[in-house]
Amino acid sequence: MLSSPLHAIMNPSSIAFVGASNNFTKMGTLQCLSLLYSGFPGDVLPVHPKEKSVLGKKAYPLISDLPYAPDLAILVVPTGLVPDMLEDFGKLGTKYAVIISGGFRETGKEGQSLESRISDIAQRYGMRFIGPNCVGIINTQLPLNLTVAPIKVSYGKLGIASQSGTYVTQTLPYLHKRGITISKAISVGNGTSIDIVDCLKYLGDDEQTTAIALYIEGINRAGDFLKVAKEISARKPIVAQYVGGTEAGARAVSSHTGSMAGPDYVYDGLFKQAGIIRVDTIEDVYGIGWALASQPPLKGTHIGILTNSGGPGTGIATTCNKHGLEIPEFSSEVQKKIRKFIPRHASAMNPVDLTFHLDMSVMADKIPRVLFDAEEIDGIIIHGIMGTGWMDMMYSAVRTIIDISREEFLTLREVDLDKLINMPLKYKKPLIISSFFGNEDRPVRVFNENGIPTFDSPEKAGRAMAALYEHFLIKNRSHDETDDNLEMPENVKNIVDSVSTNAFDEYTAKRILKAYGIPVTDEALANTLDEAIGYARSIGYPVALKICSPHIMHKTERGMVHLGIEDDESLEKAFNSIRKNDGESPILVSEMLAGDREFMAGMTYAPGFPPCIMFGLGGVFTEALKDNAIRLAPLSHNDAVSMMETLSSRAMLGPYRGMKPVDMDVVAAMLVALGRLALDFPQIREIDLNPIIITDGMPKVADALFVK
């Protein structure tokens, strides 16, 4: 971790602050105030052309007047001043900076030019910086808070990297209220010198950080991101929200941080391949991230549910089931232990439904102890522990009948939670709490203060436990490596170089596929009817006839594909029919596959991404059902297998309706080879293999399209 520039940026011993004054309506002043209030133990050196002191600290008129080169420079100044000031710090010998100022590439051409200028200055002086257009950093270990929120952030476990400054600043009170504590938080901004990949790697190596939460608007180094995330997710959970996948989202992020967004399905594939748990809301980034950071890892699928109401218990159970978790009926031994503490009408099977039971010691100690102690249970979710929140609600009615003070009344149902909050650590099993009360309720407040994730709905609690299970699967999946040393097949370069047109004809495309070991139909090119008949007899009827021209990509629509040709006479009719439409191009004579299922594979590019490999349902269903998966090249064998396993139609790959199962190893090898081909020849920008026909469980490419 010491090699990361972020280690120095997050742990400075001295900070120069340019842009702070004694005016509390200014952003720079608020950020400097946050720095001082956080308890930062190092020197703070304000730079101000007029003020003799700033927030009680001696100020210096110019950067060149500073008594020494500070470890870190903070710039909150008008955009046009940034380049010269950064250069002044470079001359002084400062190596790191956080540039808060906005107005760079997110504003257009002029801003892009300014951003390129500060990048050049930094490189000339060997500097690295966060930003521009960011809102600062937090390191609770130092401590250090450079955001606009002057809050003393508690020492915590969740590391955050966000391409929105709001999500490491305005949300601090929100996180504090929910007991979510941070290890490190980085507002990435435009990511000019230090981007989201650098932040991810730093947080992955940070010992204080037990889980990582990401807010992403766009990734410019997707290949590097994938490599780093794949390594980290095998040992530390990562949860992420991506927001640039729609037209409106892409437009918003472009004007926000200048990020280049990509299609949502590409990011979905990237996250799956990288082992990142994707969520849809920033609330889930924090809540699920906190559950992953604070709880022991889940070691199995069996979840025990304890509730004081049937509806919430059912909601939790349904959510868990939808995400692959099991809610097994407890063994007779466990049920026997539970029945000692519940009324006759209550269920001990799972969920344990107490049906509005007000003895909170049963929910907060006795039954949880049974569940945590049971080897058959891997994780516990509890809904309905309540104390002062419920009693306070009742007090207005009770006081009309009984003369009792509010304080005395609230103590009547005090709940001892000490044993429960220690159970996850003691038994090494996760605990998730659901409650409709907030911090006004003492149990919720105690859970939040002691690192027990608490959610305001049963379904959210179930989803959090499902995320723990998702990380369990990620951590335990096979992590094979891609083979990056394979040589390009012989003569393929000559074939590719010989193509002068924008598209490859089908025969040439299939020659390339065959060279990479991808099975294709047996076929030959014919220029005359006699040649076509000779090839058909050699291949064996039935055959297919197709025009073979790089200028005709959609052959079927133009009547230039004839299938199921059974004899010489039928072939002659088909040949002559094609010749009426095209009298010059060769005609492809191909074996006619008698398959039982059709799939497709392909390759395309998204801005900033390596080749994107696609696999899914093929033939006439490709566009209608859009059931496909994406991974980035290069693919490992397990990456390819996971593509097949994530399809909604994955049952069709098995022994479907009496058909032989598809040889998934052969299909995986095809997808891996397709990724290699794409990386070997970046001039090929699009590949479409559709259909891939399955015959007796074996795949074969029936049609292929390559486009430069």
Encode pLDDT of 427-469 as tens digits: 999 999 999 999 988 899 999 999 999 999 999 999 999 999 9
What residues form DSSP beta bridges with 75? 18, 99
Closest to 368 (Cα-Cα) out of 277, 428, 325, 305: 305
pLDDT for the residue numbered 484: 74
Report residue 485's pLDDT band, with 50, 70 and 90 as the boundaries: confident
Q: Measure Cα distances from 119 to 129, 136, 163, 190 in Å.
A: 9, 18, 19, 12
Three-class secondary structure of residue 120 per DSSP: helix
Pair 346, 222 in one domain: no
Residue 549 domain flag: no
What do you get for the CA distance between the two ends of the chain, in Å? 41
List the one residue out of 47, 192, 224 whose CA is nearest residue 127: 192
Please tell me the distance from the alpha carbon of residue 510 to that of residue 516, in angstroms, as a whole number: 10
Cα–Cα distance for residue pair 135/51, rounded to 1 Å: 24
Domain that holds residue 24: 5-282
Overall number of domains in the chain = 2
What is the pLDDT, as a whole number, of residue 623? Answer: 66
With CA atoms as reference, report the closest residue to 129 among 205, 200, 172, 75.
Answer: 75
Residue 515 lies in a domain: no
Q: What's the distance, CA 63 to chain centroid?
A: 41
CA distance 599 to 368: 49
Q: Does residue 509 lie in a domain region? A: no
Regarding whether 299 and 275 lie in a shared domain, the answer is: no
Domain membership of residue 584 (yes or no) is no
- Rounded mean pLDDT, 635-663: 92
Dist. CA 352–CA 337, nearest whole Å: 12
Distance CA 521, CA 324 (A): 40
Asked whether residue 272 falls in the same domain as residue 188, the answer is: yes
Q: Is 512 among the domain residues?
A: no
Q: Quick one: tokens of 618?
A: 């093929």
Residue 700 lies in a domain: no
Judge if 14 and 37 occupy the same domain: yes
Among the candidates 448, 476, 504, a domain finishes at 476
CB atoms within 10 A of CB 566: 12
Q: What is the CATH number of the domain that holds 96?
A: 3.40.50.261
Query: Are 159 and 204 in a shared domain?
Result: yes
Rounded distance, CA 190 to CA 112, Å? Answer: 11
Q: Transcribe 75-117 into DSSP letters.
A: E-S-GGGHHHHHHHHHHHT--EEEE----SGGG-HHHHHHHHH
Q: What is the pLDDT of residues 239-276, one digit of tens each?
A: 999 997 665 544 444 444 445 557 899 999 999 999 99
**What is the DSSP secondary structure assignment for residue 615, as one 8-state letter?**
E
In angstroms, the CA 559 to CA 430 distance is: 62
Residue 301 Cα to chain centre, angstroms: 22
Q: Are residues 462 and 319 part of one domain?
A: yes
- What sign for the dihedral angle of Cα 457, 458, 463, 466? positive
Residues 6+ apart with CB under 8 A from 227: none
pLDDT digits (tens, 9 = 90+) for 126-147: 999 999 999 999 999 999 999 9
pLDDT at site 29: 97
pLDDT score recorded for residue 392 = 66
What sections of 477-540 are H helices per DSSP?
A: 492-497, 506-515, 529-539
Length of the chain: 708
pLDDT tier at 607 (50, 70, 90 boundaries)? confident
Confidence of residue 391 (pLDDT cuts 50, 70, 90): low
Q: Please report whether residue 245 resides in a domain.
A: yes
pLDDT digits over 669-679, tens only? Answer: 999 999 999 99
- The answer to whether the CB of 374 falls within 8 A of the CB of 304 is yes
- Tell me whether residue 272 is in a domain: yes
Q: Say which residues have a Cβ less than 8 Å from residue 213's Cβ, sequence separation at least 6.
A: 158, 159, 160, 161, 238, 239, 240, 285, 286, 289
| Lowest-confidence segment of 25-39, 182-196, 622-636 by average pLDDT | 622-636
- Convert the pLDDT of each residue in 15-39 to its tens digit: 999 999 999 999 999 999 999 999 9
Per the listing, tokens 């996250």 go with: 271
Q: What residue type is 564 in one-letter code? A: G
The angle at the Cα of 223, spanning 221 to 228, to the nearest 5 degrees, equals: 95
Q: Are residues 257 and 303 in the same domain?
A: no
SS3 388: helix
Q: What is the pTM of this model?
A: 0.92
Does residue 391 share a domain with residue 330?
yes
Task: Tell whether 277 and 310 lie within a shared domain.
Answer: no
| Predicted confidence (pLDDT) per residue in 563-575, tens digit | 999 999 999 999 9
Q: Same structural domain for residues 329 and 266?
A: no
The residue among 444, 476, 508 that closes a domain is 476
| Residue 324 and residue 250 share a domain | no
Does the structure show a pLDDT above 80 at 655?
Answer: yes
H-type helices in 582-663, by residue range?
Answer: 621-625, 637-645
Same domain, 317 and 252: no
